[in-house]
Amino acid sequence: MKLINFVRHLRSHKCELLRQGGNHSVYINTENGKISSIPCHKEIKNNLCRKICKDLEISSPFYT
């Protein structure tokens, strides 16, 4: 999945950028306080997207 599309998905579920480093960005779910880091790559593997969504306790962008 493209990083820009995944970030849009996170923002639509009320997740905000907490801080950004050289290799990773850290997002926080403002509703429950859960935190997860996202690598700064153009493409993110689907399994990693699912894991990040699970960490943040939001729905996955994939329906399967």
Instruction: Measure CA of the first residue to CA of the last residue in the chain; give whole Å.
Output: 15
pLDDT at 62: 82
Q: Look at residue 20 and tell me if it is in a domain.
A: yes
Residues in the chain: 64
pLDDT at 63: 64
Q: Look at residue 64 and tell me if it is in a domain.
A: no
Number of domains in the chain: 1
Task: Report the 10 Å Cβ neighbour count for 12.
Answer: 11
Q: Look at residue 62 and tell me if it is in a domain.
A: no
Q: Look at residue 43 and tell me if it is in a domain.
A: yes
CATH number of domain containing 7: 3.30.920
pLDDT at 60: 93
Q: Look at residue 61 and tell me if it is in a domain.
A: no
Cβ(31)–Cβ(16) below 8 Å:
no
**Residue range(s) defining the domain that contains residue 46:** 3-56
Q: Look at residue 51 and tell me if it is in a domain.
A: yes
7-64: pLDDT as tens digits: 999 999 999 999 999 899 999 999 999 999 999 999 999 999 999 999 999 999 986 4
Among 64, 47, 41, 50, smallest CA distance to 9 is for 50
